Structure 1
């Protein structure tokens, strides 16, 4: 499965997904990453106002005292607990925009870590990993 992203500047987005997010990007705008597995099809929007990343959802009563998402989320990617810290450091060293830093949550029976990156059009990709206590 690949997500379709309308972007404001196709060339800029192709370069960012390749250089900062570690995706293989072809001339069509197909951007894929093997670990963690991600897939996007980047299309240039006809009009700038067609580029619309998700906004933060309204607050709700989530289970286990979870506060809810910190921001709007366009993609949520699961990865391994043992790899998530290195993934953040890889993105940081490659110059990715860190939307929010690693967050650790104690969910009672499980520990959960996540961080987020954003692309040039402010699409937010969250990477999360959990492990049982």
Structure 2
């Protein structure tokens, strides 16, 4: 909560697993520790009305990931700073519960690799490069 207060929630599911066979949810392929995908069973979907369907976290360089705590924010707790930029996700009908971003190319040490246009296009059932 933005004001630091606490709330109690009933009938909420979340957890961590790597094999969710016959889990009893609508979408048995729950994604991530909190299930932040777009399935009806994900934590973000269960709280969508309360969090205005918004969550935010900052990706840091891998070597820095352990020493610095990562902050996961929901709804009104997400600060709106002057130069904040957001990105849109792609819609992939066959994978409607997943988030997809369009990747155009890769840069390593200020050198653009130069993959051909469409190299990272989504194919078939939501797969990428083959």
Band the TM-score falls in, shorter-chain normalisation: under 0.3
Larger Rg computed on CA atoms: 2
- Larger RCO, structure (CA 8 Å, separation 6 or more): 1
Higher helix proportion: 1
Give me the TM-score of the superposition, normalised by structure 1: 0.23
